[in-house]
C-alpha cells in the first residue's frame, strides 16, 4: 500500500534551509541534510497519503476499508470512481427508504440529475435519468443497491434519455461522421 505512493505528488522538504547559512558551505553537511531531507519528505508524503485514505473522495488503497466496514464486496477490478459510487450510495442508503433517499442514491451512481416517479397504485416507481444521456456506467451497481434498499413489494422501472432524431437532424453529415453511433445517441442535451 504505502510502497506505491507517488513521491512526485508531494512537496520536498529542504532541511538545510532551516540551518544557519555557514552550514550550507560544508559539503558533508549538504550531503547529510540532503539524505535527511529525502527521508523527511517521504515521511510527510506517507502521512499525507494515509490521511487521504480517511475520506471516500480521496481514498485509493483505503477504499477496501470502507467496503469492509459497510459489508460490501471488494471489487479491485472496478475503477476507484466506481468503487466510490458504491460506497457513497451505501452510506446514503442507510435508514428509512424515502423518495429522497432513492433519488440521492441514484444521483450518486449516475453523476447526473434523476427524477423518481411513484406509481403507488401499480406498486412500482420510475428512476428517470434527466441529467445525463444514456445508461450510467455502473448501472449494475445502482440496480444492486436499489434492490437492497427499496421495499420488497415495489418494482423499479429505469427510464433513460437518448438523442432524438429531431436533434440529430440539426447536425450535418460532416459533424456526425466524426463520431460513433454511441456518441450520436449520447449527444449533449440542448
pLDDT in tens, 94-126: 667 888 889 988 888 887 889 999 998 999 999
Cα–Cα dist 85/66, whole Å: 12
pLDDT of residue 188: 64
**In this structure, what DSSP letter does residue 167 have?**
H
First to last CA, the chain: 45
Dig out the grid coordinates for 163 from the structure. 438523442
pLDDT in tens, 131-176: 777 888 888 888 988 988 888 889 999 998 876 777 777 777 777 7
pLDDT in tens, 63-106: 999 999 988 888 888 899 989 988 987 887 666 788 888 998 88
pLDDT in tens, 28-67: 999 999 999 999 999 999 999 999 999 999 999 999 999 9
Among 79, 87, 141, CA closest to 110: 141
Cα–Cα dist 125/107, whole Å: 16
Which stretch of DSSP H or E encloses residue 159?
strand 155-159
Amino acid at each position: 500500500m504505502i510502497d506505491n505512493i507517488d513521491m512526485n505528488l508531494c512537496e520536498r522538504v529542504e532541511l538545510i534551509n532551516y540551518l544557519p547559512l555557514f552550514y550550507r558551505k560544508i559539503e558533508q553537511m549538504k550531503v547529510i541534510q540532503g539524505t535527511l531531507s529525502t527521508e523527511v519528505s517521504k515521511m510527510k508524503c506517507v502521512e499525507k497519503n494515509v490521511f487521504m485514505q480517511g475520506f471516500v473522495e480521496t481514498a485509493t488503497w483505503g477504499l477496501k476499508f470502507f467496503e469492509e466496514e459497510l459489508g460490501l464486496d471488494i471489487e479491485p477490478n472496478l475503477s476507484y470512481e466506481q468503487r466510490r459510487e458504491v460506497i457513497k450510495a451505501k452510506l446514503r442508503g442507510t435508514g428509512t427508504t424515502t423518495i429522497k433517499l432513492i433519488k440521492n442514491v441514484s444521483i450518486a451512481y449516475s453523476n447526473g440529475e434523476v427524477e423518481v416517479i411513484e406509481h403507488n397504485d401499480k406498486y412500482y416507481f420510475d428512476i428517470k435519468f434527466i441529467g445525463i444521456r444514456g445508461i450510467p456506467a455502473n448501472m449494475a451497481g445502482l440496480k444492486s443497491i436499489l434492490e437492497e434498499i427499496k421495499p420488497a413489494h415495489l418494482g423499479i422501472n429505469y427510464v433513460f434519455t437518448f438523442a432524438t432524431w429531431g436533434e440529430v437532424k440539426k447536425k450535418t453529415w460532416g459533424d456526425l461522421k466524426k463520431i460513433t453511433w454511441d456518441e450520436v445517441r449520447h449527444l449533449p442535451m440542448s
